[in-house]
Amino acid sequence: MDDIPKALPVNPTRLIDQLRAFIRARNLAYKTEKTYIHWILRYIRHHHKRHPREMGAAEVEQFLSYLAVHGRCAPSTQKTALNALVFLYREFLHTPLSGIQPALPTTKTKTPQVLSHQEALSVVAQLRDPYLLIIKLLYGSGLRLNECLRLRIKDIDFAMNIIIVRQGKGRKDRRTLLPASLTSALQQQVRYVESLHRLDLVCGAGDVYMPFALASKYPVAARSLGWKYLFPAPNLSIDPRSDIKRRHHIMDSSVQKALRQAAKRTSSVKTINCHIFRHSFATRLLEQGYDLRTIQELLGHSDIRTTEIYTHVASGGGLGVRSPMDL
């Protein structure tokens, strides 16, 4: 249940607890909170656990340069660390940083790796439910792994053939397509969740985690079928915030482990992870002639330039050029 914010003291005294409370008061995503805390702790430990108030722009610049030179981090990694430290000083400590000029990592344009349709199917053929259906959704709907695992029953609209992604990356909702070939399997999965829910109700564990203040606003909804996770965990667990025993969704590590084992049973030499199916989804749509704007909306990209990178991996490199060897 590592996607549920941990409980904090009522009156936190530790810097990190105070910072967590401040981030939650700003209503930032929990993933953002974890990322910011990670880099701020690394910054503090790098400077031998000095308090951030005792440091400033010089120490931040030295830390970021260390990441680039000795840590050999990617530009995006250094930018994430910088964002976390700017937030710490400007928003939390009210001492804005200025004049920072750290050493910059070598900028590299990274082309996403994708699977051909046959390669994707060969991996899928090695999986068993529920992991089989999860990976099919990643490939068939372009979902990120955690977006898929956090789906609730009510997010699947069989009548309109769409999937509603709630609070995706950037805390944005979006709609994506529901593959017609998965309708039957998804309906069967819903029936399975319904039977599991009835058993949980008998055991007194029929509640489900509700985000934000929805548990207070809709106290009965936590026990309704519509709010149940589409891919429930096999066992009950204790909610770290409320100490209530209930059923969460399957953990991402379980899916990743199952996929790694499945990939080993194929002949592919590519590095296969969950995100490669999202890349492959976008590439297939591009090869079928769909416009970039449509693909951008389905993927939930805020910038069209992020979507444009798939033109470099579509068949023919997106250029429509024939090699002289093929003439």
| 25 within 8 A of 262, measured Cβ to Cβ | no
Q: What is the pTM of this model?
A: 0.74
* pLDDT above 60 for 327: no
* pLDDT above 90 for 270: no
- What's the pLDDT at 4? 63
The region that residue 241 occupies, defined by phi over 0 for left and psi between -120 and 50 for alpha, beta otherwise, is: alpha
- What's the pLDDT at 314? 66
Q: Could you say which of 150, 248, 278, 284 is catalytic?
A: 278
Is 278 among the catalytic positions? yes
Q: What distance in Å separates the CA atoms of residue 130 and residue 116, rounded to the nearest whole number?
A: 23
Phi, psi angle pair for 126, to nearest 5°: -90, 0
Residue in the block written with tokens 């444009």: 308
Q: Is 20 exposed, middle or buried (0-12, 13-18, 19+ CB in 10 A)?
A: buried
Instruction: Tell me the pairing of strands 162-165 and 156-157.
Output: antiparallel
* pLDDT above 60 for 293: yes
Q: What integer is the mean pLDDT of 9-22?
A: 86
Condensed to tens digits (0 to 9), the pLDDT of residues 199-211 reads 888 887 777 777 7
Structure tokens at 29: 């995503």
The amino acid at 92: F
Is 245 among the catalytic positions? no
- What's the pLDDT at 106? 63
Q: Which of 32-41, 78-87, 104-113 has the lowest mean pLDDT?
A: 104-113
Average pLDDT taken over every residue of the chain: 84
3-state secondary structure of 316: helix
Among the listed residues 138, 139, 78, the one whose alpha carbon sits nearest the alpha carbon of residue 108: 78
Condensed to tens digits (0 to 9), the pLDDT of residues 55-81 reads 988 899 999 888 888 888 888 888 899
Condensed to tens digits (0 to 9), the pLDDT of residues 139-184 reads 999 999 989 999 999 999 999 999 999 877 777 889 999 999 999 9
| Terminal CA-CA length for the chain | 56
Q: Could you say which of 275, 293, 305, 312 is catalytic?
A: 275
* pLDDT above 60 for 194: yes
Q: What integer is the mean pLDDT of 120-138?
A: 93
Q: Could you say which of 46, 79, 166, 169 is catalytic?
A: 169
Structure tokens at 9: 């003291």
3-state secondary structure of 209: coil
Long-range contacts of 182-190 (CB under 8 A, 24+ apart): 182/133, 182/136, 182/137, 182/140, 183/158, 185/129, 185/133, 185/136, 186/133, 186/156, 186/158, 186/230, 187/158, 189/129, 189/130, 189/133, 189/230, 189/231, 190/153, 190/156, 190/230
Condensed to tens digits (0 to 9), the pLDDT of residues 76-85 reads 888 899 999 9
Q: Which of 72-86, 189-203, 236-250 has the lowest mean pLDDT?
A: 236-250
Instruction: Tell me the pairing of strands 156-157 and 174-177.
Output: unpaired
Is 169 among the catalytic positions? yes
Tell me 267's DSSP state.
S
Q: Could you say which of 20, 136, 144, 248 is catalytic?
A: 144
Among the listed residues 115, 116, 132, the one whose alpha carbon sits nearest the alpha carbon of residue 124: 132
Is 275 among the catalytic positions? yes
* pLDDT above 80 for 8: no
Q: What distance in Å separates the CA atoms of residue 148 and residue 229, rounded to the nearest whole number?
A: 10
